[in-house]
Chain A
Protein backbone atom coordinates (compact mmCIF):
# COMPACT_ATOMS: atom_id res chain seq x y z
CA UNK A 1 0.00 0.00 0.00
CA UNK A 2 1.53 3.31 -1.05
CA UNK A 3 1.36 6.27 1.29
CA UNK A 4 -0.59 9.30 0.11
CA UNK A 5 1.59 12.33 -0.58
CA UNK A 6 2.35 14.49 2.44
CA UNK A 7 0.16 17.54 2.64
CA UNK A 8 1.67 20.73 1.33
CA UNK A 9 0.00 22.68 4.12
CA UNK A 10 2.32 24.39 6.54
CA UNK A 11 2.78 23.19 10.04
CA UNK A 12 1.25 25.36 12.70
CA UNK A 13 3.60 27.78 14.39
CA UNK A 14 4.14 26.94 18.04
CA UNK A 15 3.15 28.25 20.49
CA UNK A 16 0.23 29.96 18.81
CA UNK A 17 -1.42 30.87 22.10
CA UNK A 18 -0.38 32.67 25.27
CA UNK A 19 1.26 30.29 27.74
CA UNK A 20 -1.61 30.36 30.14
CA UNK A 21 -3.85 27.34 30.40
CA UNK A 22 -7.35 27.46 28.93
CA UNK A 23 -10.69 25.99 29.85
CA UNK A 24 -13.39 24.18 27.95
CA UNK A 25 -16.29 26.64 27.93
CA UNK A 26 -19.67 24.97 28.39
CA UNK A 27 -23.10 26.57 28.03
CA UNK A 28 -23.83 26.37 31.77
CA UNK A 29 -20.77 28.51 32.54
CA UNK A 30 -21.16 31.09 29.78
CA UNK A 31 -23.04 33.79 31.69
CA UNK A 32 -20.70 33.64 34.66
CA UNK A 33 -17.69 33.49 32.34
CA UNK A 34 -18.70 36.70 30.58
CA UNK A 35 -19.56 38.43 33.84
CA UNK A 36 -16.44 37.45 35.79
CA UNK A 37 -14.01 37.37 32.85
CA UNK A 38 -11.54 34.97 34.48
CA UNK A 39 -7.94 35.22 33.36
CA UNK A 40 -7.56 32.13 31.19
CA UNK A 41 -5.22 31.69 28.25
CA UNK A 42 -7.88 30.56 25.81
CA UNK A 43 -11.25 28.91 25.56
CA UNK A 44 -12.23 25.77 23.73
CA UNK A 45 -15.74 24.83 22.62
CA UNK A 46 -17.22 21.82 20.87
CA UNK A 47 -17.74 23.04 17.32
CA UNK A 48 -20.96 21.06 16.81
CA UNK A 49 -22.69 22.86 19.69
CA UNK A 50 -22.54 25.97 17.49
CA UNK A 51 -23.95 24.43 14.31
CA UNK A 52 -27.30 26.17 14.93
CA UNK A 53 -28.18 29.01 12.58
CA UNK A 54 -28.18 31.68 15.29
CA UNK A 55 -29.53 32.50 18.72
CA UNK A 56 -27.96 32.87 22.12
CA UNK A 57 -25.18 30.25 21.89
CA UNK A 58 -23.51 31.86 18.86
CA UNK A 59 -24.08 35.35 20.27
CA UNK A 60 -22.45 34.48 23.59
CA UNK A 61 -19.55 32.70 21.94
CA UNK A 62 -18.99 35.74 19.72
CA UNK A 63 -18.76 37.92 22.82
CA UNK A 64 -16.39 35.54 24.59
CA UNK A 65 -14.28 35.37 21.44
CA UNK A 66 -13.69 39.15 21.46
CA UNK A 67 -11.42 38.86 24.49
CA UNK A 68 -10.15 35.30 24.23
CA UNK A 69 -8.30 33.15 21.77
CA UNK A 70 -10.45 30.22 20.71
CA UNK A 71 -9.91 26.57 19.99
CA UNK A 72 -12.67 24.91 17.94
CA UNK A 73 -12.84 21.28 19.01
CA UNK A 74 -14.83 18.88 16.85
CA UNK A 75 -16.51 15.80 18.25
CA UNK A 76 -18.72 14.68 15.36
CA UNK A 77 -16.89 14.76 12.03
CA UNK A 78 -16.30 11.01 12.24
CA UNK A 79 -12.88 11.16 10.60
CA UNK A 80 -12.30 7.44 11.00
CA UNK A 81 -15.65 6.30 9.59
CA UNK A 82 -15.85 4.57 6.23
CA UNK A 83 -18.91 6.72 5.47
CA UNK A 84 -18.19 9.55 3.00
CA UNK A 85 -17.12 12.75 4.77
CA UNK A 86 -20.25 14.78 5.52
CA UNK A 87 -20.14 17.82 3.21
CA UNK A 88 -22.82 19.68 5.16
CA UNK A 89 -20.87 19.18 8.38
CA UNK A 90 -17.65 20.43 6.79
CA UNK A 91 -19.48 23.38 5.28
CA UNK A 92 -20.87 24.40 8.68
CA UNK A 93 -17.46 23.92 10.28
CA UNK A 94 -15.84 26.07 7.59
CA UNK A 95 -18.41 28.81 8.21
CA UNK A 96 -17.68 28.75 11.94
CA UNK A 97 -13.94 28.91 11.26
CA UNK A 98 -14.52 31.91 9.01
CA UNK A 99 -16.71 33.61 11.60
CA UNK A 100 -14.66 32.86 14.72
CA UNK A 101 -11.08 32.68 13.40
CA UNK A 102 -10.00 30.03 15.89
CA UNK A 103 -6.33 29.54 16.79
CA UNK A 104 -6.81 25.78 16.61
CA UNK A 105 -9.21 23.40 14.91
CA UNK A 106 -9.15 19.88 16.26
CA UNK A 107 -10.88 16.53 15.86
CA UNK A 108 -10.53 13.06 17.29
CA UNK A 109 -8.81 9.94 16.04
CA UNK A 110 -12.00 7.91 16.11
CA UNK A 111 -15.20 7.13 14.27
CA UNK A 112 -18.65 8.16 15.44
CA UNK A 113 -20.98 7.10 12.63
CA UNK A 114 -21.78 4.22 10.31
CA UNK A 115 -24.09 4.31 7.28
CA UNK A 116 -25.27 7.78 8.26
CA UNK A 117 -26.22 6.84 11.82
CA UNK A 118 -24.30 8.86 14.40
CA UNK A 119 -23.66 7.22 17.74
CA UNK A 120 -22.44 10.42 19.44
CA UNK A 121 -19.53 8.61 21.08
CA UNK A 122 -15.81 8.57 20.24
CA UNK A 123 -15.25 5.00 19.08
CA UNK A 124 -11.75 3.58 18.70
CA UNK A 125 -10.40 2.42 15.35
CA UNK A 126 -8.64 -0.84 14.68
CA UNK A 127 -5.04 0.32 14.39
CA UNK A 128 -4.20 -1.33 11.08
CA UNK A 129 -2.46 -0.27 7.88
CA UNK A 130 -5.89 -0.02 6.22
CA UNK A 131 -7.21 2.33 8.92
CA UNK A 132 -4.04 4.41 8.84
CA UNK A 133 -4.28 4.94 5.09
CA UNK A 134 -7.97 5.79 5.46
CA UNK A 135 -7.43 8.35 8.24
CA UNK A 136 -4.54 9.94 6.34
CA UNK A 137 -6.78 10.43 3.27
CA UNK A 138 -9.54 11.90 5.43
CA UNK A 139 -7.27 14.29 7.33
CA UNK A 140 -5.84 15.43 3.99
CA UNK A 141 -9.37 16.03 2.67
CA UNK A 142 -10.45 17.98 5.77
CA UNK A 143 -7.34 20.14 5.71
CA UNK A 144 -7.79 20.84 2.00
CA UNK A 145 -11.42 21.80 2.62
CA UNK A 146 -10.66 24.09 5.56
CA UNK A 147 -7.39 25.38 4.07
CA UNK A 148 -5.93 24.89 7.52
CA UNK A 149 -3.97 22.28 9.37
CA UNK A 150 -5.98 20.57 12.06
CA UNK A 151 -4.97 18.89 15.30
CA UNK A 152 -5.90 15.27 15.85
CA UNK A 153 -6.58 14.01 19.37
CA UNK A 154 -6.03 10.57 20.87
CA UNK A 155 -9.19 9.24 22.54
CA UNK A 156 -9.69 7.15 25.65
CA UNK A 157 -10.58 3.60 24.77
CA UNK A 158 -12.16 0.77 26.67
CA UNK A 159 -11.33 -2.06 24.28
CA UNK A 160 -8.71 -2.91 21.68
CA UNK A 161 -9.19 -4.87 18.47
CA UNK A 162 -7.32 -8.12 18.02
CA UNK A 163 -6.48 -7.05 14.46
CA UNK A 164 -4.65 -3.90 15.63
CA UNK A 165 -1.00 -4.12 14.66
CA UNK A 166 0.24 -0.54 15.17
CA UNK A 167 0.65 0.98 18.65
CA UNK A 168 -1.52 4.09 18.93
CA UNK A 169 1.45 6.41 19.52
CA UNK A 170 3.03 5.21 16.28
CA UNK A 171 -0.30 5.44 14.46
CA UNK A 172 -0.57 9.11 15.50
CA UNK A 173 3.07 9.76 14.61
CA UNK A 174 2.47 8.32 11.13
CA UNK A 175 -0.64 10.46 10.58
CA UNK A 176 1.13 13.66 11.56
CA UNK A 177 4.13 12.74 9.39
CA UNK A 178 1.99 11.95 6.34
CA UNK A 179 -0.59 14.75 6.58
CA UNK A 180 1.26 17.57 8.32
CA UNK A 181 -1.53 17.77 10.89
CA UNK A 182 -0.62 18.49 14.49
CA UNK A 183 -1.54 16.47 17.54
CA UNK A 184 -3.74 17.40 20.43
CA UNK A 185 -2.39 15.06 23.04
CA UNK A 186 -4.94 14.31 25.73
CA UNK A 187 -2.86 13.32 28.73
CA UNK A 188 -5.85 11.95 30.61
CA UNK A 189 -6.79 9.81 27.61
CA UNK A 190 -3.27 8.38 27.45
CA UNK A 191 -3.51 7.55 31.14
CA UNK A 192 -7.01 6.03 30.87
CA UNK A 193 -6.10 3.89 27.87
CA UNK A 194 -2.77 2.86 29.41
CA UNK A 195 -4.58 1.60 32.51
CA UNK A 196 -7.33 -0.08 30.47
CA UNK A 197 -4.97 -1.85 28.08
CA UNK A 198 -1.88 -2.28 30.19
CA UNK A 199 0.65 -0.22 28.25
CA UNK A 200 3.23 2.20 29.67
CA UNK A 201 1.97 5.79 29.42
CA UNK A 202 5.46 7.30 29.71
CA UNK A 203 6.71 5.05 26.91
CA UNK A 204 3.73 6.20 24.78
CA UNK A 205 4.71 9.86 25.27
CA UNK A 206 8.32 9.06 24.44
CA UNK A 207 7.27 7.72 21.03
CA UNK A 208 5.23 10.79 20.03
CA UNK A 209 7.34 13.14 17.88
CA UNK A 210 8.45 16.15 19.94
CA UNK A 211 7.44 18.78 17.41
CA UNK A 212 4.00 17.32 16.58
CA UNK A 213 2.16 18.26 19.78
CA UNK A 214 0.44 21.67 19.61
CA UNK A 215 -2.07 21.35 22.43
CA UNK A 216 -2.47 19.25 25.57
CA UNK A 217 -5.74 18.26 27.22
CA UNK A 218 -6.34 17.51 30.87
CA UNK A 219 -9.52 16.13 32.39
CA UNK A 220 -10.84 13.87 35.10
CA UNK A 221 -11.96 10.26 34.79
CA UNK A 222 -13.77 7.73 36.96
CA UNK A 223 -12.81 4.18 37.90
CA UNK A 224 -15.71 1.80 37.36
CA UNK A 225 -15.39 -1.60 39.03
CA UNK A 226 -16.55 -4.56 36.97
CA UNK A 227 -16.14 -8.34 37.12
CA UNK A 228 -12.46 -9.09 36.55
CA UNK A 229 -11.15 -5.66 37.55
CA UNK A 230 -11.99 -2.06 36.82
CA UNK A 231 -12.36 0.07 33.71
CA UNK A 232 -11.33 3.71 33.72
CA UNK A 233 -13.95 5.90 32.02
CA UNK A 234 -13.08 9.26 30.50
CA UNK A 235 -16.04 11.00 32.15
CA UNK A 236 -14.78 14.61 32.35
CA UNK A 237 -16.68 14.74 35.63
CA UNK A 238 -13.84 15.00 38.16
CA UNK A 239 -10.74 17.03 39.01
CA UNK A 240 -7.54 15.97 37.24
CA UNK A 241 -6.03 13.17 39.34
CA UNK A 242 -2.48 13.12 40.77
CA UNK A 243 -1.29 10.46 38.31
CA UNK A 244 -2.43 12.56 35.35
CA UNK A 245 -0.70 15.66 36.75
CA UNK A 246 2.50 13.60 36.89
CA UNK A 247 2.02 12.41 33.33
CA UNK A 248 1.34 16.03 32.32
CA UNK A 249 4.66 17.11 33.88
CA UNK A 250 6.29 14.32 31.92
CA UNK A 251 4.61 15.61 28.73
CA UNK A 252 5.77 19.18 29.38
CA UNK A 253 9.34 18.00 29.92
CA UNK A 254 9.18 16.21 26.57
CA UNK A 255 7.10 18.56 24.40
CA UNK A 256 7.92 21.91 26.03
CA UNK A 257 5.44 24.60 27.05
CA UNK A 258 2.43 23.55 24.98
CA UNK A 259 -0.96 25.36 25.26
CA UNK A 260 -2.96 23.32 27.74
CA UNK A 261 -6.69 23.02 28.21
CA UNK A 262 -8.72 21.62 31.11
CA UNK A 263 -12.02 19.98 30.17
CA UNK A 264 -15.01 19.38 32.42
CA UNK A 265 -18.26 18.21 30.80
CA UNK A 266 -20.35 16.30 33.30
CA UNK A 267 -21.36 17.17 36.88
CA UNK A 268 -19.99 20.63 36.20
CA UNK A 269 -18.43 22.38 39.20
CA UNK A 270 -18.66 26.14 39.80
CA UNK A 271 -16.59 27.98 37.19
CA UNK A 272 -13.91 28.95 39.72
CA UNK A 273 -13.15 25.27 40.40
CA UNK A 274 -12.51 24.68 36.69
CA UNK A 275 -10.39 27.84 36.50
CA UNK A 276 -8.51 26.55 39.56
CA UNK A 277 -7.57 23.42 37.62
CA UNK A 278 -6.25 25.65 34.83
CA UNK A 279 -4.21 27.56 37.46
CA UNK A 280 -2.52 24.30 38.43
CA UNK A 281 -1.55 23.76 34.81
CA UNK A 282 -0.24 27.35 34.77
CA UNK A 283 1.90 26.54 37.79
CA UNK A 284 3.36 23.57 35.94
CA UNK A 285 4.03 25.65 32.84
CA UNK A 286 5.76 28.26 35.03
CA UNK A 287 7.83 25.57 36.76
CA UNK A 288 8.90 24.23 33.37
CA UNK A 289 10.13 27.69 32.46
CA UNK A 290 12.22 27.82 35.65
CA UNK A 291 13.63 24.34 35.22
CA UNK A 292 13.20 21.84 32.39
CA UNK A 293 13.51 19.04 34.97
CA UNK A 294 10.94 20.41 37.43
CA UNK A 295 9.06 18.21 39.87
CA UNK A 296 5.27 18.20 40.14
CA UNK A 297 5.23 18.72 43.93
CA UNK A 298 7.50 21.78 43.65
CA UNK A 299 5.40 23.24 40.85
CA UNK A 300 2.12 22.89 42.70
CA UNK A 301 3.64 24.12 45.99
CA UNK A 302 5.02 27.29 44.35
Chain B
Protein backbone atom coordinates (compact mmCIF):
# COMPACT_ATOMS: atom_id res chain seq x y z
CA UNK B 1 0.00 0.00 0.00
CA UNK B 2 1.51 3.38 -0.98
CA UNK B 3 2.01 6.02 1.68
CA UNK B 4 -0.12 9.15 1.63
CA UNK B 5 2.88 11.03 0.26
CA UNK B 6 3.42 8.46 -2.52
CA UNK B 7 -0.26 8.55 -3.44
CA UNK B 8 -0.21 12.33 -3.71
CA UNK B 9 2.99 12.25 -5.78
CA UNK B 10 1.41 9.80 -8.23
CA UNK B 11 -1.94 11.58 -8.48
CA UNK B 12 -0.48 15.08 -8.85
CA UNK B 13 1.94 13.85 -11.53
CA UNK B 14 -0.91 12.23 -13.42
CA UNK B 15 -3.12 15.31 -13.17
CA UNK B 16 -0.57 17.94 -14.09
CA UNK B 17 1.75 16.08 -16.44
CA UNK B 18 -0.31 13.11 -17.53
CA UNK B 19 2.27 10.76 -16.00
CA UNK B 20 1.52 7.08 -15.33
CA UNK B 21 -2.26 7.43 -15.57
CA UNK B 22 -2.46 3.62 -15.60
CA UNK B 23 -0.42 3.36 -12.41
CA UNK B 24 -2.73 5.83 -10.72
CA UNK B 25 -5.82 4.11 -12.06
CA UNK B 26 -4.59 0.97 -10.29
CA UNK B 27 -4.91 2.88 -7.00
CA UNK B 28 -8.55 3.66 -7.72
CA UNK B 29 -11.64 1.63 -6.99
CA UNK B 30 -13.68 0.31 -9.86
CA UNK B 31 -17.24 1.42 -9.12
CA UNK B 32 -19.95 0.54 -11.61
CA UNK B 33 -18.74 0.34 -15.19
CA UNK B 34 -16.94 3.68 -15.41
CA UNK B 35 -13.19 3.19 -15.89
CA UNK B 36 -11.00 4.73 -13.18
CA UNK B 37 -9.01 6.50 -15.93
CA UNK B 38 -12.24 8.26 -16.87
CA UNK B 39 -12.72 9.43 -13.30
CA UNK B 40 -9.13 10.67 -13.10
CA UNK B 41 -9.74 12.65 -16.28
CA UNK B 42 -12.51 14.66 -14.56
CA UNK B 43 -9.88 16.02 -12.17
CA UNK B 44 -7.34 16.59 -14.93
CA UNK B 45 -9.95 18.64 -16.79
CA UNK B 46 -10.84 20.56 -13.63
CA UNK B 47 -7.19 21.44 -12.95
CA UNK B 48 -6.58 22.85 -16.42
CA UNK B 49 -10.02 24.49 -16.66
CA UNK B 50 -9.72 26.32 -13.34
CA UNK B 51 -6.11 27.45 -13.83
CA UNK B 52 -6.86 28.31 -17.46
CA UNK B 53 -9.82 30.45 -16.34
CA UNK B 54 -7.57 32.23 -13.87
CA UNK B 55 -5.19 33.14 -16.71
CA UNK B 56 -8.08 34.26 -18.93
CA UNK B 57 -9.33 36.57 -16.18
CA UNK B 58 -5.93 38.29 -15.91
CA UNK B 59 -5.21 38.39 -19.67
CA UNK B 60 -8.52 39.18 -21.46
CA UNK B 61 -6.92 41.21 -24.27
CA UNK B 62 -4.23 38.59 -24.86
CA UNK B 63 -7.04 36.01 -25.08
CA UNK B 64 -8.86 38.18 -27.59
CA UNK B 65 -5.76 38.70 -29.72
CA UNK B 66 -5.00 34.98 -29.82
CA UNK B 67 -8.53 33.63 -29.90
CA UNK B 68 -9.99 31.66 -27.00
CA UNK B 69 -9.11 28.23 -28.36
CA UNK B 70 -5.48 29.01 -29.21
CA UNK B 71 -5.03 30.72 -25.84
CA UNK B 72 -6.42 27.65 -24.09
CA UNK B 73 -3.84 25.45 -25.83
CA UNK B 74 -1.01 27.79 -24.91
CA UNK B 75 -2.34 28.00 -21.35
CA UNK B 76 -2.11 24.21 -20.99
CA UNK B 77 1.58 24.31 -21.80
CA UNK B 78 2.10 27.27 -19.49
CA UNK B 79 0.29 25.59 -16.57
CA UNK B 80 2.58 22.54 -16.83
CA UNK B 81 5.76 24.62 -17.12
CA UNK B 82 4.86 27.37 -14.62
CA UNK B 83 2.26 25.91 -12.24
CA UNK B 84 0.81 27.82 -9.31
CA UNK B 85 3.02 27.78 -6.22
CA UNK B 86 0.52 29.14 -3.74
CA UNK B 87 -2.95 28.40 -2.43
CA UNK B 88 -4.10 31.78 -3.76
CA UNK B 89 -3.75 32.73 -7.40
CA UNK B 90 -2.55 36.34 -7.18
CA UNK B 91 0.96 35.53 -8.41
CA UNK B 92 -0.10 32.80 -10.84
CA UNK B 93 0.47 33.83 -14.45
CA UNK B 94 3.39 36.19 -13.78
CA UNK B 95 5.64 34.43 -16.30
CA UNK B 96 3.07 34.34 -19.11
CA UNK B 97 4.49 37.40 -20.96
CA UNK B 98 7.97 35.82 -21.02
CA UNK B 99 6.45 32.46 -21.95
CA UNK B 100 4.61 34.03 -24.89
CA UNK B 101 7.82 35.75 -25.99
CA UNK B 102 9.56 32.35 -26.24
CA UNK B 103 6.86 30.67 -28.35
CA UNK B 104 8.10 30.24 -31.93
CA UNK B 105 4.47 29.99 -33.08
CA UNK B 106 3.90 33.59 -31.95
CA UNK B 107 6.83 35.15 -33.84
CA UNK B 108 4.37 36.90 -36.15
CA UNK B 109 2.87 38.76 -33.17
CA UNK B 110 5.95 40.49 -31.71
CA UNK B 111 3.80 42.93 -29.66
CA UNK B 112 1.79 40.20 -27.93
CA UNK B 113 4.13 39.63 -24.97
CA UNK B 114 4.18 43.37 -24.25
CA UNK B 115 0.37 43.54 -24.31
CA UNK B 116 0.45 40.70 -21.78
CA UNK B 117 3.00 42.64 -19.69
CA UNK B 118 0.60 45.58 -19.61
CA UNK B 119 -2.22 43.28 -18.47
CA UNK B 120 -0.06 41.70 -15.78
CA UNK B 121 0.95 45.14 -14.50
CA UNK B 122 -2.74 46.06 -14.32
CA UNK B 123 -3.46 42.85 -12.38
CA UNK B 124 -0.71 43.55 -9.85
CA UNK B 125 -1.70 47.18 -9.43
CA UNK B 126 -5.36 46.24 -8.93
CA UNK B 127 -4.48 44.11 -5.89
CA UNK B 128 -1.71 46.31 -4.44
CA UNK B 129 -1.76 47.89 -0.99
CA UNK B 130 -3.84 50.99 -0.37
CA UNK B 131 -1.78 54.09 0.45
CA UNK B 132 -2.32 57.74 1.24
CA UNK B 133 -1.79 60.21 -1.61
CA UNK B 134 0.82 62.94 -1.34
CA UNK B 135 -0.64 66.33 -2.18
CA UNK B 136 1.08 69.53 -3.28
CA UNK B 137 0.45 71.23 0.08
CA UNK B 138 2.39 68.58 1.95
CA UNK B 139 5.25 68.93 -0.49
CA UNK B 140 5.22 72.73 -0.11
CA UNK B 141 6.03 72.32 3.59
CA UNK B 142 9.44 70.80 2.83
CA UNK B 143 12.15 73.26 4.03
CA UNK B 144 13.71 75.07 1.08
CA UNK B 145 17.28 74.03 1.99
CA UNK B 146 16.24 70.34 1.91
CA UNK B 147 14.45 70.40 -1.42
CA UNK B 148 17.31 68.93 -3.44
CA UNK B 149 17.38 65.95 -1.08
CA UNK B 150 13.66 65.18 -1.35
CA UNK B 151 12.83 61.68 -2.38
CA UNK B 152 9.31 61.21 -3.72
CA UNK B 153 7.84 57.76 -3.19
CA UNK B 154 5.54 56.41 -5.84
CA UNK B 155 2.37 54.61 -4.86
CA UNK B 156 2.99 50.91 -4.20
CA UNK B 157 0.23 50.43 -6.79
CA UNK B 158 2.56 51.54 -9.60
CA UNK B 159 4.26 49.60 -12.38
CA UNK B 160 6.23 50.81 -15.39
CA UNK B 161 5.66 49.22 -18.78
CA UNK B 162 7.61 50.25 -21.87
CA UNK B 163 7.32 48.69 -25.30
CA UNK B 164 8.60 49.43 -28.81
CA UNK B 165 5.02 48.67 -29.95
CA UNK B 166 1.83 50.72 -29.44
CA UNK B 167 0.56 48.26 -26.83
CA UNK B 168 -1.68 50.73 -25.02
CA UNK B 169 -3.50 51.57 -28.27
CA UNK B 170 -3.83 47.83 -28.93
CA UNK B 171 -5.19 47.32 -25.42
CA UNK B 172 -7.65 50.20 -25.79
CA UNK B 173 -8.83 49.06 -29.20
CA UNK B 174 -9.62 45.65 -27.73
CA UNK B 175 -11.91 47.01 -25.03
CA UNK B 176 -14.61 47.32 -27.72
CA UNK B 177 -17.61 45.10 -27.20
CA UNK B 178 -17.31 43.32 -30.55
CA UNK B 179 -14.35 42.45 -32.74
CA UNK B 180 -16.02 44.34 -35.63
CA UNK B 181 -15.87 47.57 -33.64
CA UNK B 182 -12.11 47.37 -33.09
CA UNK B 183 -10.29 50.38 -34.54
CA UNK B 184 -7.22 49.21 -36.47
CA UNK B 185 -3.89 50.08 -34.83
CA UNK B 186 -0.77 50.49 -36.93
CA UNK B 187 2.45 49.05 -35.53
CA UNK B 188 4.16 51.99 -37.29
CA UNK B 189 2.67 54.24 -34.59
CA UNK B 190 5.71 53.28 -32.55
CA UNK B 191 6.32 52.46 -28.90
CA UNK B 192 4.82 53.67 -25.68
CA UNK B 193 5.87 54.17 -22.04
CA UNK B 194 3.15 53.73 -19.44
CA UNK B 195 2.84 54.20 -15.70
CA UNK B 196 0.21 51.68 -14.60
CA UNK B 197 -1.39 53.12 -11.49
CA UNK B 198 -4.66 53.27 -9.62
CA UNK B 199 -7.22 55.96 -8.89
CA UNK B 200 -10.31 55.22 -6.77
CA UNK B 201 -9.46 51.51 -7.02
CA UNK B 202 -9.61 51.64 -10.84
CA UNK B 203 -6.47 50.77 -12.79
CA UNK B 204 -5.28 53.68 -14.94
CA UNK B 205 -2.68 53.76 -17.72
CA UNK B 206 -0.72 57.02 -17.70
CA UNK B 207 1.28 57.62 -20.87
CA UNK B 208 4.74 59.01 -20.12
CA UNK B 209 7.21 61.00 -22.19
CA UNK B 210 10.75 59.58 -22.43
CA UNK B 211 12.25 62.05 -19.92
CA UNK B 212 9.19 61.82 -17.65
CA UNK B 213 9.58 58.03 -17.66
CA UNK B 214 13.27 58.31 -16.74
CA UNK B 215 12.44 60.84 -14.01
CA UNK B 216 9.76 58.69 -12.37
CA UNK B 217 11.83 55.53 -12.64
CA UNK B 218 14.74 57.32 -10.93
CA UNK B 219 12.39 58.37 -8.12
CA UNK B 220 11.06 54.81 -7.91
CA UNK B 221 14.66 53.62 -7.51
CA UNK B 222 14.90 55.84 -4.42
CA UNK B 223 17.02 58.59 -5.95
CA UNK B 224 16.65 62.20 -4.82
CA UNK B 225 14.65 64.79 -6.72
CA UNK B 226 17.89 66.45 -7.86
CA UNK B 227 19.30 63.15 -9.11
CA UNK B 228 16.04 62.27 -10.86
CA UNK B 229 15.96 65.68 -12.52
CA UNK B 230 19.52 65.22 -13.77
CA UNK B 231 18.61 61.81 -15.19
CA UNK B 232 15.57 63.27 -16.95
CA UNK B 233 17.56 66.20 -18.38
CA UNK B 234 20.08 63.72 -19.73
CA UNK B 235 17.24 62.26 -21.82
CA UNK B 236 15.71 65.59 -22.82
CA UNK B 237 17.19 69.00 -22.02
CA UNK B 238 13.73 70.58 -22.31
CA UNK B 239 12.32 68.39 -19.50
CA UNK B 240 9.89 70.52 -17.46
CA UNK B 241 10.22 69.61 -13.78
CA UNK B 242 7.38 71.86 -12.57
CA UNK B 243 4.86 70.60 -15.12
CA UNK B 244 5.81 66.96 -14.49
CA UNK B 245 5.55 67.26 -10.72
CA UNK B 246 2.27 69.15 -11.07
CA UNK B 247 0.85 66.44 -13.31
CA UNK B 248 1.77 63.57 -11.01
CA UNK B 249 0.74 65.33 -7.82
CA UNK B 250 -2.65 65.93 -9.45
CA UNK B 251 -2.85 62.30 -10.59
CA UNK B 252 -1.89 61.07 -7.12
CA UNK B 253 1.14 59.16 -8.38
CA UNK B 254 3.07 59.73 -5.13
CA UNK B 255 2.33 58.47 -1.63
CA UNK B 256 4.94 60.22 0.52
CA UNK B 257 8.23 62.08 0.60
CA UNK B 258 11.37 61.60 2.64
CA UNK B 259 14.85 63.10 2.67
CA UNK B 260 17.85 61.34 1.15
CA UNK B 261 20.88 61.11 3.44
CA UNK B 262 23.25 63.99 2.80
CA UNK B 263 26.09 61.73 1.59
CA UNK B 264 23.87 60.43 -1.22
CA UNK B 265 23.02 63.93 -2.32
CA UNK B 266 25.16 64.10 -5.42
CA UNK B 267 23.10 63.66 -8.55
A113 touches B87 (CB 8 A): yes
CB-CB under 8 A from B87, the residues of chain A are 48, 74-78, 86, 89, 112-113, 118
Q: Is A123 an interface residue (CB 8 A)?
A: yes
The answer to whether residues A53 and B156 also contact, given A120-B47, A158-B39, A228-B34 and a CB cut-off of 8 A, is: yes
- Given known pairs A76-B86, A82-B8, A114-B8, the reply for A120 and B42 (CB within 8 Å) is no
> Residue B198 contacts which of A51, A55, A77, A111 (CB distance < 8 angstroms)?
A55
Q: Are A52 and B127 in contact (CB under 8 A)?
A: yes
Count chain A residues whose beta carbon lies closer than 8 angstroms to a beta carbon of B: 57
A-contacting 9-mer, from B25-33, B65-73, B231-239: B25-33
Contact with A along B7-45 (1 / 0, CB 8 A): 111011001100000000011110111111011101100
Alpha-carbon distance between A160 and B29 when the two chains are bound, in angstroms: 6
- Asked if B135 is at the interface of the complex by the 8 Å CB criterion, the answer is no
CA distance A224 to B42 in the complex (A): 10
Identify the stretch in A13-21, A126-134, A202-210 within 8 Å (CB) of chain B at 4 or more residues.
A126-134
In the complex, the chain A residue whose C-beta lies closest to that of B86 is A118
Contact with A along B205-240 (1 / 0, CB 8 A): 000000000000000000000000000000000000
Chain B, Cβ-Cβ closest to A52: B127
Q: Check: B157 CB closer than 8 A to any chain A CB.
A: yes
A116-B85, A118-B85 known; A123+B11 contact, CB < 8 A: yes
Does the CB pair B1–A163 fall under 8 Å?
yes
Instruction: Say yes or no: B127 contacts A226, CB within 8 Å.
Output: no
In the assembled complex, the Cα of A113 lies from the Cα of B9 at a distance in Å of 10
Contact A160 B28 (CB under 8 A): yes
Q: Which residues of A contact B12 (CB under 8 A)?
A: 113-115, 117, 119
Candidates A51, A82, A198; contact of B90 at CB < 8 Å = A51
Chain A residues, Cβ within 8 Å of B26: 162
Q: Interface code A79-118, partner B: CB below 8 Å = 1, 0 otherwise?
A: 0011000101100100000000000000000011111111
- Residue numbers in B under 8 Å from A113 (CB-CB): 12, 87
Chain A minimum-CB-distance residue to B83: A117
- CB of A59 within 8 A of CB of B42, answer no
**CB pair B15 A119 closer than 8 Å:** yes
- Given A81-B8, A117-B12, A123-B11: A228 and B32 within 8 A (CB)? yes
Contact of A161 among B28, B50, B88 (CB under 8 A): B28
Contact of A49 with B43 at beta-carbon distance under 8 Å, contacts A119-B15, A162-B28, A163-B27 already known: no
Q: Count residues of chain B with CB under 8 A from any CB of chain A.
A: 51
Contact string against B for A residues 137-172, beta-carbon threshold 8 Å, 1 for contact and 0 otherwise: 000000000000000000000111111100000000
Measured CB to CB, the nearest residue on chain B to A112 is B87
> Given A55-B157, A59-B201, A158-B43, are A226 and B85 neighbors across the interface (CB < 8 Å)?
no
Is A35 positioned at the interface, with any CB of B under 8 Å from its CB?
Answer: no
Contact (Cβ within 8 A) A125 B4: yes
Complex Cα–Cα for A128 and B27 (A): 13
Q: Which of A49, A81, A86, A121 has the most CB of B within 10 A?
A: A121
B35 and A158 contact, CB distance less than 8 A: no
- Residue numbers in A under 8 Å from B27 (CB-CB): 126, 161-163
CB of A231 within 8 A of chain B? yes
In the complex, whether A61 has a CB less than 8 A from a CB of chain B is no
Q: Which B residues lie within 8 Å of A162 (CB)?
A: 26-29
A228 touching B33, Cβ below 8 Å: yes
Contact string against B for A residues 46-63, beta-carbon threshold 8 Å, 1 for contact and 0 otherwise: 001101111111110000
**A196 — nearest CB in chain B belongs to which residue?**
B31
Distance between A57 CB and nearest chain B CB, rounded to angstroms: 7
Q: Does chain B have a CB within 8 A of A270?
A: no
Which residues of A line the B interface, CB within 8 A?
48-49, 51-59, 74-78, 81-82, 86, 88-89, 92, 111-121, 123, 125-126, 128, 130-131, 134, 158-164, 196-198, 224, 226-229, 231, 233
Of the A-B pairs whose beta carbons lie under 8 Å apart in the complex, a sample of 18, sorted by A's number, is A54-B129, A55-B201, A57-B127, A76-B86, A77-B87, A92-B88, A111-B8, A118-B85, A119-B15, A121-B43, A126-B4, A158-B42, A159-B36, A161-B29, A162-B28, A227-B35, A228-B35, A231-B38
